[in-house]
Every structure is written in C-alpha cells, then in structure tokens.
Amino acid sequence: MTSTDPNWWRDAVVYQIYPRSFADANNDGTGDVEGMISRLDYLQDLGVTAVWVSPWYPSPMADGGYDVADYCDIDSRFGTLAEADAFVAEAHARGIRVLIDLVPNHSSDAHPAFRAALASAPGSPERAMFHFRDGRGPDGDEPPNNWGSLFGGPAWERVIGPDGPEQWYLHMFAPEQPDWDWANPAVVALFDDVIRFWFDRGVDGLRVDVADGLAKQPGYHDTPIDPATGLGIATFYPGHPWWNQPELDTIQRHWRAIADGYADRHLGERIFVCEANTKPLSALMRFVDPGRMHTTFNFDMLWCEWEAGSLRAMIDRNLIAHAAVGAPTTWVLGNHDSTRVVTRYGKPETGKPFTLDGVTPEWQHRFAEYFFVQPTDNALGRRRARAAALLEFALPGTAYIYQGEELGLPEVEDLPDAVLDDPAFFRTGGRVRGRDGCRVPLPWSGTEQPYGFGADAAPWLPQPPEWAGLSAAAQDGEPDSTLSLYRRALAIRATHPALGDGTLAWGDTYPGTVLYFTREPGFGFLANLSGDAVTLPSGAEVLVASGPLAGDVVPPDTAVWLSLPA
C-alpha cells in the first residue's frame, strides 16, 4: 500500500511513462492504460516509488498529446476514465504514487472553449479565454507582433472566418495549441476544476507543463529578432515577454493552496513538479519558495557534460540553491523531449542540448550540424549512462527515470522521414528532426518487432533490430544487464539510511577527474571520469558497481556505491 508519509515526494524515484510508447495491450500499435496496468508489477520490481504519466487526455495528437481537447477524460486510443481510475488504484496497491501531466499553457484547437472562441465575435468572453488580437498592417495581414513559436515559424495564426481572414491567436507551440490567457479569471477557474477533478480521483501530483510560460506581458511587445529567420527569439532571456512573469507567483500560490487542502486526506501531500527552463537558477528557485510549488525539474543535469568538474559544480550549485529554500532537488537524465542519455554520452561532445531550445531559430543550424554529423559510440554512452544512473540515485533529492533508461536504450537516430511525427519536424521544413527518436515504443520481450510492446501490430514508430538484446525479458535475471543494475541500486536506495533526502560531503582524496562523496551513515560514492584506473578507498566494501571492477580498481567511466568502514 502507498505510505502516508507526507514527505514522500522529497526522495521519490519517479518513472516517466509516455503512454503512447509504453505498452500496447489492445494491439493497435499505440500504448494504452491497460498496458500500463499490465506493467505495474515490472515497475514495482524495478523499485520506483512513483510514476509520472505524460498526457493521456483526448487529443488530436498534434503534439503527442500536449494538445489537450478535454482535461477531464482519457483519449479513446489509450482507454477510459474507469481504466485510469483502475491504474491509480493498482499503482497505489503496489506502493506507487501517480503524478499526471497538467498542460495549462495551451489547449488543443479541438477544445470546446477554443471552438466556441472561433465561433464568437472579436471582443467576446469566449475569445477572452485565449490571446486573440487584430493583426498589424492596413488589412491586419501581419501578425500582431514578431513572436516566434518554439516549434518554428510565427507564434500567431490567423483565423479564417466565414467572411474571410480576421483576428490572429497566439500559440507558443504548434498552431493546434492555442495559448490560454491566464490574466482571465475564467481560465484560472477552469483549471481549478481540472486540478480538483484529478486530486479527487486520488492522483498524488501534477507535473506542470511549460510552468514558466503561462503569463504573457500585456503589451505584447516585439522580442529581439533572430537574423536567420526574421522572427522574435522564443527561448528564455531575462526580460522576455512570456517567460517567468511575476504573475506566476499568484498562480502557483493559488494552486498550492488547493493541493494543501488535500493534505488531511489519507494519501498524504499532493504535489507539483514544474517543467521550467527559467534562468538563472536563483530565478528558478522562486518557483519552489515556501508556499509556491513543491519541486521543479533540474534540467542542469540533463545538459551537463560528462566531465567531473562540470558535474560537481552543477551538483553543488543545485544543492545549495535548493537548500536555501528548503526544497528537494530533482535529478533528471532524460525525458520525452531529449536525446536519450546513452546517445548523448556516446557523442564526442557530451553536453549538447536537444530540448525545445534545439528547435528554435537560433539553435537550428548548430543543432542539425551536431546531431547528424557526430557519430555515436553506444557502448561508451551506455557505460557512462550506467555510471550516471548510480550518481543520480546517490544524490540527495528526487530522481526521475524516463521509460527505457533502465534498459539502456539509445536514441533511434535513423528513423525514416516518413514516420516522423514531431510538429517541430514539419514546422521547420525538416531541418530539425525532432523528438521522435526518444519516443520509440519499449521492447519488452521477443526477438523481433514489436518486441512484446503489443501482440503483433506494428508499433507507431518502428523499433530497431538491435533492440532484441535490450528487451526487458532479455535483461531480466542477467546480472550484468542495465535492468539488473537499476533494480539493485533502487533496492539499496530504498533501505539505506544514508540515501534519499539529506546532504553529501565531497572527499578530496582523489584527483579532480574523479567524483567522490560520502553520505552519513557510512555511504561512499565514487565515479571515475578520468582516463586512468582508480583504486577504491581502503576498507570500503562495494555495494553495487555500474560496470566490472578489477579487484579494488575502478576503470574509467565506472561508478561504485560503497559501504565505508566506521
């Protein structure tokens, strides 16, 4: 059963389920809620304490479900609300908490409120739910300002009404994702209902999509232009008119009060985790100030190069900043928007981005050059990714696992153009391939596609032939497999008194190319990021190692957990 510990979220191990690609129980090539239920035993064996489910709502899937047509139902491709309830209950029965995605920045153009807005006149209350504006120029033929979309192209789409072209509406992402106007109290009220709807159903937390983008500066002033495209810069910079506006404080405190209202129910605290790329770190920390959100994703780890000095600085920076506000740090190695960690660490340069930043104008050329020219060494990348997993789970705070990381899956870098589905691919004329390569359905068993994802239907994205050896069944019981490593490490983490929330102390007995820290009582972590072998501290006993050791010698790109002599 789920514990009632109110602090469960301070050291949770959260597994991200991307429902389309997790498990396909009805054999239609797309994952579903029944499939998720069928794999809960696997997740329990893995040792995770929570799951985060990416959007499962009714959606035209213009952006993989982040275009929500109904926030209080389940897409029929994925199942039913009753099945979602069963999933929550079955997860709780196994001691696993459930977080789901809240997508408050934008809806789908199929959402009834947006349909009503289109059918209503300019200036109507229906249009006031979104950002409708007249265009510039004599006939209003030009967008209201120069803002660019994060998926490429302008951030404004013109409405074509029965009498021809009329107003424009704002979409930070695809045109099928109109932005809600959070200055409108009716939008606040609509989402209050959504949040309560899911908390009432027993959901333990919400991952807030684009948490730093909800409020827009009312002046809608132009942003500096990217000369390559002639559009305004869409990514964060201090003073940007839509990122990290002061109004977020009010919105977040309001949501926190709703969540706190559930604290006395038997499930313990309901929580939020923000998806926000706000910089600098001191600005992001305002999101987790007392009375605001519980946690925010720490994307620093995701983009940190595999280099001891950079990692240590990144860890310190985050631990210090979070401790100052009393929030736990989250640690993230991957998600459905990022090149899989095995592949990132298998490139000659290991700290390159592939988030939504990667698809904005100012990044397009650098991104394309990087990802499709640099070769990948998957064996090296996997060795490092395994060491990074031990680092992640040894650090104080909450750890996030993106589905398939526990199998050591690489990015699928050679998906044919014809199967690509990411709106970024289409909106950049194919210059950016997008995020499909990390969303390929999981291999569960068998020697050929669909590898137990479904019974025999072709999965919505094709799986590579090399994945036979990476399936969960192939790795089960293999002592050296990545799956076994994750299970072993998470089992130790669950009971070791030094792990989870708390602090660490760096040891300086090793050169700067080695990460070595201790946690009380009696725990040591060592990762060898040098090119040379390193010897374990004397008297230390190995609890788990990310790769083979030669006696007390730790080879390069290998990490160990240690039990230290008293």
Give residues in contact with ligand NOJ (CB under 6 A). 63, 66, 103, 173, 209-210, 275, 336-337
Min dist CB 231 to ligand NOJ, Å, is 18
Distances (CA, A) of 110 to 71, 101, 114, 116, 214: 12, 18, 7, 10, 20
Min dist CB 238 to ligand NOJ, Å, is 21
Contact yes or no for 337/435 (Cβ under 8 A): yes
The residue among 402 and 523 lying less far from ligand NOJ, judged by its C-beta, is 402
The residue among 210 and 407 lying less far from ligand NOJ, judged by its C-beta, is 210
The residue among 173 and 561 lying less far from ligand NOJ, judged by its C-beta, is 173
Min dist CB 49 to ligand NOJ, Å, is 22
The residue among 262 and 400 lying less far from ligand NOJ, judged by its C-beta, is 400
The residue among 204 and 212 lying less far from ligand NOJ, judged by its C-beta, is 212
Angle 69-73-75 from CA coordinates, rounded to 5°: 70
Q: From CA 482, how far away is CA 409, in angstroms rounded?
A: 9
Burial 153-168 (b: 16+ CB within 10 A, else e): bbbbbbbeeeeeebbb
Q: From CA 347, how far away is CA 277, in angstroms rounded?
A: 24
Q: Which residue is nearest to ligand NOJ (CB)?
A: 66
The token pair at 136 is 């510039």
Burial class (CB in 10 A: 0-12, 13-18, 19+), 507: middle
The residue among 276 and 327 lying less far from ligand NOJ, judged by its C-beta, is 276
Distances (CA, A) of 160 to 117, 119, 152, 176, 404: 13, 11, 21, 14, 43
The residue among 86 and 110 lying less far from ligand NOJ, judged by its C-beta, is 110
The token pair at 502 is 């708390």
Min dist CB 162 to ligand NOJ, Å, is 30
The residue among 155 and 545 lying less far from ligand NOJ, judged by its C-beta, is 155
* E strand residue ranges, 463-512: 505-506
Min dist CB 53 to ligand NOJ, Å, is 13
Min dist CB 542 to ligand NOJ, Å, is 37
Min dist CB 154 to ligand NOJ, Å, is 17
Q: From CA 12, how far away is CA 501, in angstroms rounded?
A: 9
Q: From CA 222, how far away is CA 249, in angstroms rounded?
A: 24
Name 53's bridge partners: 17, 100
Min dist CB 252 to ligand NOJ, Å, is 17
Min dist CB 243 to ligand NOJ, Å, is 13
The residue among 17 and 103 lying less far from ligand NOJ, judged by its C-beta, is 103
Q: From CA 55, how far away is CA 51, in angstroms rounded?
A: 13
